[in-house]
Structure 1
Amino acid sequence: MSLGAGIFLFVIGAILAFALNVQVTWIDLHLVGYILMVAGVVGIILGIILLTRRRRSVATTHTSVDPATGDRVTRRTSGDDDII
């Protein structure tokens, strides 16, 4: 769930819980609003956690001498580490 979806759920839940004054016999809209607000807060927290994760990459440089020409050869490789 992204940060925007969490904010959207929170806003819809707040509207249902506080601003809507409609009585429906088969569902309690205030309770649904509170549930959506809690889901929105969880989504916002998860979105912030996912945004603050760091990606680490490793760059490796190998330098050797070509035996035929005597020139120095440099080869660079890069790869991503797993996030722990």
Structure 2
Amino acid sequence: MSIGFGIFLMAVGAIVAWAVPALWQVEGVDWALIGYILLGAGALITIIGIAVSARSGRTSQVSRSSVDPGTGTRVERTERRDDLI
């Protein structure tokens, strides 16, 4: 979700930075600066979203079930590993 929102912010920032100043001139408002801020925020959110999704892809979960020979009951074991490089 954050990757899509980051791309959306970059698109809006590009429109505000390059199209709006040519269409509207408002005194005291620097449309180019607002657009560049939105572009930067969108790029930052996109990079963070990519890093978070890449990190969550390295988690593995293994479930094992076996029968305890002493009691004859079923034993289930779940392991979760974060494979960090």
Structure 2, unaligned runs of 5 or more:
none
Deviation of the 1:63 alpha carbon: 4.4
- Alignment of 1:65 with 2:80, yes or no, is no
Q: Which has the larger radius of gyration?
A: 1
TM-score by length of 2: 0.73
**Partner in structure 1 of residue 3 of structure 2:** 3
TM-score by length of 1: 0.74
Structure 1, unaligned runs of 5 or more:
none
SS state at 1:78 partner? strand
- Percent of aligned positions that are identical: 36
Relative distance call for 1:83 and 1:24 in structure 2 (3 A) is: farther
Structure with the higher helix share, 1 or 2: 2
Task: Give the alignment's Cα RMSD to 1 decimal.
Answer: 2.4
Residue type at the aligned position of 1:45: I
**Partner in structure 1 of residue 78 of structure 2:** 78
Cα separation, 2, equivalents of 1:83 and 1:42 = 25
Deviation of the 1:61 alpha carbon: 4.9
